[in-house]
Amino acid sequence: MRDKHFRLGCDIGGTFTDFVLLNDETGEIKTGKCLTTPKDPSDAVEEGIRALEKTTPEFVGKLDELIHGTTLVINSIIERKGAKTGLITTKGFRDILEIGREIRYAPYDIFAEFPKPLVPRRFRLEVDERIRSDGTILRPLDKEEARRVVKQLIDMGVESIAVCLINSFENPAHEKMIEDIIKEEAPWISTSISYRVLPQIKEYERTSTTVTNAYVKPLTGRYLSKLSDRLASIGFKGKLFIMLSSGGITSVETAAEFPVRIIESGPTAAVIAGQYYGKHFNIPEMFCFDMGGTTAKSCLIQKGVAGVVPTFEVGRVQRFMKGSGLTIQVPVVDLMEIGAGGGSIAKVSKLGTLQVGPESSGADPGPICYGRGGTEPCVTDADLLLGYLDENYFLGGEMKLDKEGARHGVEEKIAKPLGVSFVQAIWGIHDLINETMAAAAKTHIAEKGGNPKIVTIAAFGGAGPVHTYGLAKKLEAPRIIVPPNAGVGSAMGFFTAPRAFDLLRSHKVALGAVDFAVIENIFKDMEKEATQILKKESGDDTIRFDRSLDMRFVGQGSEVNIPAPPGDFRTFKKEQIRRLFDDVYEKLYGRTYPDSEVEFINFKIRASLPERLLQLPKLERKEGQSIEDAIKGKRLAYSSMAKDFIPYTVYDRYKLFPGASFMGPAIIEERESTLVVGEDGHVRMDDFGFLWIDIKEVK
C-alpha cells in the first residue's frame, strides 16, 4: 500500500466551500460542505478538512494531491479589492484601457456605464519608445527616462506594476529592459510583463489582461502562500494544484505568477466533470447546468468536448450585457452565466413586478432560512416553502433551516406588496428563476448550433438538482442526468481535469510569404517554456503537446482556430494548411473564398501531462434490497402540473441501488443536494449510481 493514496478536491464558492476526498486505492469517495468564509477563505478550507478527519482520521498526512478552485480572484476584481497598480506603456497609449475597442454595448442608451479601469489615469505613465509591427526598433527606449517613470510609480505607492508596450509580442526587448530596471529599483514590487502574460496581437486586450494580472497578483500570492503554510501546519505534505479557467490544473507557483488564468477556476471544474461523464456514457449533446448559492452557469458539451474560447469578460456593469465588462484574453472554458443562485434575493421591482437577483445574500448572512441574520427572501427560502427541501436534512441535517422565518419574510416582502397569495409568491420566485435560466440557456445552445430538444441536462451544484426538472420542462429537453455527489460537482471535476497549460504567440504573416521553419521554431520555443512550467508538477511524465493556429483572410478583423496536424511544421505543404483553413471556415460560415489570401495571426499550444482520471466504481446490489427500503416517507410539495401541493415520495439516495426505478412525483435527498422530479418524470439508477430522469410527456 502506498503511503500517499488520497486526493482532495476543494472548491471555494460564493456561498459554500465543497470538499471531495478520493481514495485512489479503494475508489471510495467522501464529501463535505461548509459555509465559505469571505474574510479569509482558508478558514473554511481548514474547517472542512477537520470535519473530514472525523470520518477518515489522519488522512491529511496521506494526501498525494490537493486540487483547489477559488473565486478569490474574480471577487477581488468585482469588489475592487486588488492591489494599487501602476501601468507603464508606450507614449500615446496611456488611455487604451478607457478607449477599448470604441464599441458601445448599448448604442441607444445615452446613460450606458462602462467599468472603471483597474488602474486610474494618474497611475498610467508613458515611455517614449516605439517598435514596429515586424519587431524592428523605430525609437529606442531611453533607460534613464524609464528609470524616472519607475521611480515615480514607486513614490506614488503602487504595490504592483504592469508593463505593456506597443508590438512587444514581436520584440520584447524594451519590456525586458523595464523589467530589469524595476528589479533594480524595487525588487519587492510585484510585476506583470505583457510578453510573459499575453504575447498576443491586439493592444487593448493585451493591456487589459496584463493590468488585471498585476491587479490581483499580490493578493493571490499572499493567499496561496498563506494557504500552503496553513495546510503544512495541519500535516499536509503533498502537492497543491490550482484549477485553471481553461479546464486544466497547474502548480501553485504558476497560479501565483499568472492569477488572471484562474479567474473562472471553480465553475470550470463542473464542466470538466460533465465532459468526462459525457464521454463515459457516450452522450453526444450534454447541457452542463451548475447552480450554486450565488450563480448558475452552463456549458453545451458537443461530441464529448467542452469548447474553450480565447476571451471573456469580468465585472460587467450590466450583468448579462456583453461588452459592459473588463476584457480578459486568456483561454477559458466556454461558460455562460444563465441566472442567479439559491442565495439570489427576490424583491418587488420599481415597476411593481417580481424580480429575482442579480443581488445575492451570499454566505453571510445568506437566505432568511439559514438563520444567520438574513432578512431578504431568496430562492432557497422559496424552495424550502414549496416543500422541495427538508428543513431538518439540509447539509445532511448539519444545518437546521428556519421555515417560519422564511415564511414571514416572503409574506411581508413579496406576497403583501404584490397583492398575491403566499403560494403564488413562493412559486413565482422558483418559476421566475427557472424561466430566466431557460431563456438564457436557449440562446446559449442556439449560438453553438445545438438543439435544446435533444440535449441531456447534467445537473450540478447544491441548487442544480432542485431546479433541473423545471429547467428541462421549459427547454423541452427529454432527459436529465444527476451524478452521485452532484452538490459538490465542481470539486469532483478536479479529479477529471488534466495537468495542463496553454501558451500563445502572435506572429502576423501571410500564408504565401511564410517560412514554415520560422513557425516550427515558434512552436518549439513555446513547448520548451511549457515544459519548464509542467516539470515543476511532475519530473518524470511524458508531456503531450497539441498545436493550433489562428488564421483569417487578409484584411479581416477576426480569426478562426485551426487544429494543426501533428508533426514537424517544416514537412507540411502550404496547400495542406490552406485546405484545413477552408474546411473549418466553410463549416462555420457556409462558404469560403479560395481566391482570397489567408494569413497566420496566433500560434497556440496546450501542453498536458498524463491524466489521473477518476475511476467510476460500479455499485453492487445487495440481496433483498427493494425500492421500499429507500423511501423515507411522503412530503407535500408544490406541483406545477397540479397547480397545488401534492404528496411527493421522498427517497434516500444512499439506499437506492443499480436498477432501481420509479415514477414521480419524487424527491431524492442526499447530503449536499436534493433532486425534485415531477409527475411525468421516470427515475432510474444505473450501475455507477447516476440518476437518469426521462421526462415521458414533454409539454
CATH number at residue 15: 3.30.420.40
The string of DSSP codes covering 131-163 is E-TTS-EEE---HHHHHHHHHHHHHTT-SEEEE
Q: Please name which of 180, 100, 89 lies closest in space to residue 131, comparing C-alpha atoms.
A: 89
Are 50 and 166 contained in the same domain? no
Range of the domain at 130: 80-208
Exposed, middle or buried by CB within 10 Å (0-12, 13-18, 19+), for 111? exposed
8 Å CB contact between 60 and 170: no
CA pair distance 273, 249, nearest whole angstrom: 13
Task: Measure the CA–CA gap between 668 and 683, rounded to whole angstroms.
Answer: 10
Specify whether 19 is located in the same domain as 34: yes
pLDDT at 698: 44
Q: Are residues 603 and 535 in the same domain?
A: yes
Phi then psi for 210, rounded to 5 degrees?
Answer: -65, -40
Dihedral of the CA atoms 245, 21, 464, 415 (nearest 10)? -110
Domain membership of residue 280 (yes or no) is no
**Three state DSSP letters for 14-70:** CCEEEEEEEECCCCCEEEEEEECCCCCHHHHHHHHHHHHHHHCCCCHHHEEEEEEEC
Distances in Å between the alpha carbon of 109 and those of 29, 113, 305, 327? 52, 9, 38, 21
Q: Which three cell numbers stand for residue 52?
A: 473530514
The reply to whether omega before 498 is within 30° of 0 (cis) is: no
Question: Do 248 and 147 share a structural domain?
Answer: no
Q: What pLDDT shows up at residue 69?
A: 86
| Whether the bond into 417 is cis, omega within 30 of 0 | no
589 and 523 share one domain = yes
In a domain, 454, yes or no: no
Q: Are residues 646 and 671 in the same domain?
A: yes
Alpha-carbon distance 443 to 697, whole Å? 24
Would you say 266 and 13 are in contact if contact means Cβ atoms under 8 Å apart?
yes
Give the pLDDT confidence score for residue 1 in this predicted structure.
41
Global pTM value: 0.82
Q: What is the DSSP string of 565-609?
A: PSS-GGG--HHHHHHHHHHHHHHHHS---TTS-EEEEEEEEEEEP
What cell numbers appear for 48 in the block?
A: 472542512
Are 69 and 242 in contact by the 8 Å Cβ rule? The answer is yes
Q: Which of 575, 608, 641 is the last residue of a domain?
A: 608
3-state secondary structure of 555: coil
The pLDDT assigned to 119 comes to 93
C-alpha cell at 622: 445487495
Nearest CA to 450 out of 585, 307, 559, 558 is that of: 307
Q: Which of 12, 9, 27, 17 is nearest to 63 (CA)?
A: 9
- Grid cell 463535505 in the structure block, residue: 32
User: What is the pairing mode between strands 312-314 and 308-309?
Assistant: unpaired
Residues 255, 203: one domain?
no
Of 435, 436, 460, 455, the residue nearest 445 (C-alpha): 455
Flag whether 511 is in a domain: yes
Question: Amino acid identity, residue 489?
Answer: G
Round to whole Å and give the CA distance between 568 and 170.
Answer: 22
- Domain final residue, candidates 561, 578, 608: 608
CA 533 to CA 541: how far, in whole Å?
A: 13
Residues 188 and 100 in one domain: yes
The residue among 174, 208, 242 that closes a domain is 208
Measured from the Cβ of residue 320, the count of other Cβ atoms closer than 10 Å reads: 14
Q: Which residue shows C-alpha cell 478569490?
A: 72
Domain membership flag for residue 270:
no
Contacts of 11 by beta carbon, 8 Å cutoff, 6+ apart: 17, 18, 68, 69, 70, 243, 266, 269, 488, 490, 491, 494
Q: Average pLDDT of the chain?
A: 87
Asked if 56 and 94 sit in the same domain, the reply is: no
Q: Is 65 inside any structural domain?
A: yes
DSSP letter, residue 499: B
d(CA 286, CA 306) in angstroms, rounded, equals 9
| CB distance 36 to 44 below 8 Å | yes
Nearest to 314 by CA among 300, 296, 329, 297: 329
> pLDDT digit string (tens) for 279-330?
888 898 899 988 877 778 888 888 888 877 888 887 777 766 777 788 888 8
- C-alpha span between 476 and 137 (Å, rounded): 60
CATH of the domain at 193: 3.40.50
CB 647 within 8 A of CB 438: no
Closest C-alpha among 161, 106, 506, 92 to residue 325: 106
* Chain centroid, CA 437 distance in Å: 17
Residue 494 maps to a domain: no
CA distance 689 to 685: 6
- According to DSSP, the β-strands at 500-510 and 644-652 are unpaired
Q: Find the helix packing angle between 422-447 and 464-475, rounded to 10°.
A: 70
The segments of the chain whose pLDDT lies below 70 read: 1-3, 14, 319-320, 339, 362-364, 536-541, 612-614, 697-699
Report whether 29 contacts 21 (CB < 8 A). yes
Contact status, residue 353 vs residue 315, Cβ threshold 8 Å: no
Residues 90 and 202 in one domain: yes
Please report the DSSP string for 80-120 in residue order: T-S--EEEEEETT-TTHHHHTT---SSTT-TT---PPPSS-
- What does DSSP assign to residue 394? G
Decide if 37 is inside a domain.
yes
For residue 130, the model assigns a pLDDT of 94
Is the alpha carbon torsion for 457, 462, 467, 469 positive or negative?
A: positive
CA 671 to mean position of chain CA atoms: 24
CA dihedral 517, 519, 522, 527 (to 10 degrees): -90
Residues 514, 604, single domain; the answer is yes
Is the domain of 29 the same as that of 58? yes
Domains in the chain, number? 5
* Phi-psi sector, 260: left (phi>0), alpha (psi -120 to 50), beta: alpha
Is residue 621 domain-resident?
no
Q: Cα dist. 601→202, 549, 606 in Å?
A: 10, 8, 17
Query: Phi then psi for 608, rounded to 5 degrees?
Result: -140, 145
Q: Which amino acid is present at 576?
A: Q
